């Protein structure tokens, strides 16, 4: 489960707002047995997480590892790894935990980046909420392998197998206003 969570940084966070389900994509990072997310302190789910009872959520992370192409159209599938976390998200108010969480979020996206950027100032921190979700109720599901074709289809002349899917990073593109003397850090070129 930890390996699946640690291999990505985008999750989908589901909760109930005004009686209707809502799902939002957001960044996350894991520290031990807890996930952290952050966002605008004015956003409804983050405000609700600040209440005494927190906010009931469902968080998912999914990696697509391959497209499974079968002989029969109905047997096409994907190879994937996924985690589902249920629990109550709470707002993090302790300054030390907030700092740990924010650094973890930055370093989870790009290892080494927190030390190579300006720390958040007081105004930015006041406008940002940090939410924690403990990994108490967690399940993982994985699908690997070849297509599951019916025995009577095995002789059909259609190609079958797995088309692997991988995430790759391109060459870093500097911002238009970056001083040309500032070079690309090694942690970006070694990804």
Q: Determine what percent of the chain is predicted with pLDDT higher than 70.
A: 99
Tens digit of pLDDT for each residue in 41-60? 888 777 777 777 899 999 99
Closest CA to 61 of 108, 26, 110: 26
The encoded tokens of residue 29 equal: 């990072």
pTM attached to this predicted model = 0.90
User: Chain-wide mean pLDDT for the chain?
Assistant: 94
- Other C-beta atoms closer than 10 Å to the C-beta of 19 total 5
Give pLDDT, residue 99: 95
The residues, any chain, with a CB within 8 Å of residue 73's CB and separated by 6 or more, are none
Tens digit of pLDDT for each residue in 151-161? 999 999 999 99
Going along the chain from its start, the domains and CATH numbers come out as 2-63+79-144 (2.30.110.10)
C-alpha to C-alpha distance for 191 and 168, rounded to whole angstroms = 9
C-alpha to C-alpha distance for 89 and 130, rounded to whole angstroms = 10
């Amino acid at each position: 489960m930890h390996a699946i969570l640690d291999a990505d940084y985008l999750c989908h966070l589901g909760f109930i707002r005004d009686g209707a389900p809502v799902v939002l994509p957001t960044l996350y990072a894991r520290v031990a047995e807890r996930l952290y997310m952050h966002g605008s302190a004015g956003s409804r789910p983050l405000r609700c997480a600040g209440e005494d009872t927190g906010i009931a959520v469902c968080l998912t992370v999914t990696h697509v590892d391959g497209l499974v192409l079968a002989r029969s159209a109905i047997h096409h599938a994907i190879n994937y790894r996924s985690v589902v976390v249920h629990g109550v998200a709470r707002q993090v108010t302790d300054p030390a935990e907030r700092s740990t969480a924010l650094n973890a979020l930055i370093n989870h996206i790009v290892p080494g980046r927190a030390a190579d950027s300006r720390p958040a100032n007081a105004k930015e921190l006041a406008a940002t909420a940090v939410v924690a979700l403990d990994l108490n109720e967690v399940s993982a599901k994985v699908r690997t392998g070849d297509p599951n074709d019916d025995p009577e289809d095995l002789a059909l002349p259609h190609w079958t197998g797995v088309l692997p899917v991988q995430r790759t990073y391109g060459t870093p593109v500097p911002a238009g206003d970056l001083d040309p003397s500032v070079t690309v850090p090694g942690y970006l070129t070694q990804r």
